[in-house]
Amino acid sequence: MGSILMLIKATLISALLATQASAAPAAPTVLERSGRWVARFDEDGCKILGAFGEGKDQISIQLRQLPSQPNFEISLFGEIFKTEDPFSDMKMAFAPHDGLIKVVTTNGDVNGIPTRISGNWRVDNFRSASPQNDVAPVTPAQEAAVEALDISSGKAVYRLHTATMAGTMRTLRNCMDELMTHWGYDPIQYRTLSHRAEPVGNIGKWVTSSDYPSGAISKGQMAIVHFRLDVDAVGGVGNCVVIAANYPPGLETLACRLIKLRAHFTPALDKDGKAVASFYVNTVRFTLPR
């Protein structure tokens, strides 16, 4: 009897170990960077692009950032991201990290290449809806410590070996200074503001789902409009400039008209506490119900 119990116990332990082994997370496929990071300085933001791996398994990423925004947007390009769904659940994080972060990506394609977009990223993986004035900046040491970007999509797990991001993020900052100058603002004054221009009230009411044209909804079309507002020294909106927008045409004009009508701000304050003209950058997303 005792030998039978021991046999049963040993069998249960073996089954448990086998279950734990099968449940262990898959080892990531490591993709090395193929070539250098490529910088693009455009009116619609500062972009850094890099490709990892080769052939059908190649994944390209783009980091896109605008002045005034402490976080950047990540775009992922590659055949592995092909889907008919407008949104996807994924997990991502810059390494080293304490675990991947679940995000919902907006899906599409760029020049026929499947694309997934996720916003509100920093290389320290800090994600928050806190006002911009309250966000502590990422340190150079944190940028230098980055090793990779880990991505989990379905059962596939990839590690994009970025190596240190210190030089990459420095290039983005230099670009944003140039872009700010192009917009007519002083980068030094902006960095030393004691208070940035901030919206009054709920920005979600600037453009609502009821403003989405019924024709675009019936066609299943979604739109993303990146915009810049020039905010004067009393908090008024002097101008709305569309930085970038995707299809359908015309929604960018609608978004700016509504924002100028509905947006109000507390003005920016310089280092001495004096109200000054400044700007505000954000994004409107016209999305269909999930």
What CATH number is associated with residue 246? Answer: 3.30.2420.10
Spans of the chain below 70 pLDDT: 1-25, 44, 128-135, 214-222, 246-249, 286-290
50 in the same domain as 112: yes
Question: Does residue 8 belong to any structural domain of this protein?
Answer: no
Residue finishing a domain among 116, 149, 183: 183
Q: Find, among 219, 240, 222, 245, the residue nearest to 230 by Cα.
A: 240
Instruction: Write out pLDDT tens, residues 204-222.
Output: 889 877 777 766 555 555 6
> Of 157, 183, 209, which residue constitutes the final position of a domain?
183
Q: How far is CA 290 from CA 60, 85, 115, 135, 212, in A?
A: 27, 10, 19, 31, 15
167 and 46 co-located in one domain: yes
Domain boundaries, position 113: 29-183
* Residue 225 near residue 255, CB atoms below 8 Å: yes
Q: How many domains is the chain built from? A: 2
Q: Does 158 fall in a domain?
A: yes
Residue 253: its pLDDT value, please? 84
- Sequence-distant (≥ 6) Cβ neighbours of residue 208 within 8 angstroms: none
Same domain, 70 and 150: yes
State pTM to two decimals. Answer: 0.76
Q: Which helix (H) or strand (E) holds 167?
A: helix 166-183
Residues 157 and 223 in one domain: no
- Say if 56 falls within a structural domain: yes
Q: Which amino acid is at 132?
A: Q
Q: Does some domain include residue 36?
A: yes
Same domain flag for 33 and 154: yes
- Residue 18 domain-assigned? no
Q: Is residue 95 part of a domain?
A: yes
Q: What is the pLDDT of residue 20?
A: 44
Backbone torsions φ then ψ of 157, nearest 5 degrees: -130, 130
Is 3 inside any structural domain? no
Per-residue pLDDT at 207: 84
Task: Please tell me whether residues 147 and 112 are part of one structural domain.
Answer: yes
Sequence-separated (6 or more) residues with CB below 8 Å from residue 136: none
Same domain, 84 and 174: yes
The reply to whether 47 and 129 lie within a common domain is yes
Burial class (CB within 10 angstroms; exposed 0-12, middle 13-18, buried 19+) of 197? buried
For residue 77, being part of any structural domain is answered with yes
Same domain, 119 and 38: yes
User: Which of 159, 153, 132 shows the shortest CA–CA distance to 66?
Assistant: 132
Same domain, yes or no: 33 and 171: yes
For residue 261, which of 217, 229, 283 has the smallest C-alpha distance? Answer: 229
pLDDT of residue 212: 72
Token pair belonging to 265: 């701000």
Decide: 168 and 63 in contact? Cβ < 8 Å.
Answer: yes
Contact yes or no for 148/160 (Cβ under 8 A): yes
> Are 210 and 254 within 8 A, CB to CB?
no
Whole-Å CA distances, 272 to 155, 191, 196? 54, 13, 13
Shared domain check, 88 and 202:
no
- Contact present, 73 and 126 (Cβ < 8 Å): no
Q: Given 183, 218, 249, which residue is the final one in a domain? A: 183
Question: Quick one: 57 and 127 in the same domain?
Answer: yes
The confidence score (pLDDT) of residue 287 equals 64
pLDDT at 43: 73
**Which pLDDT belongs to residue 234?**
96
Do residues 80 and 64 make contact, with C-beta atoms less than 8 angstroms apart? no
Confirm if 58 and 52 have CB atoms less than 8 A apart.
yes
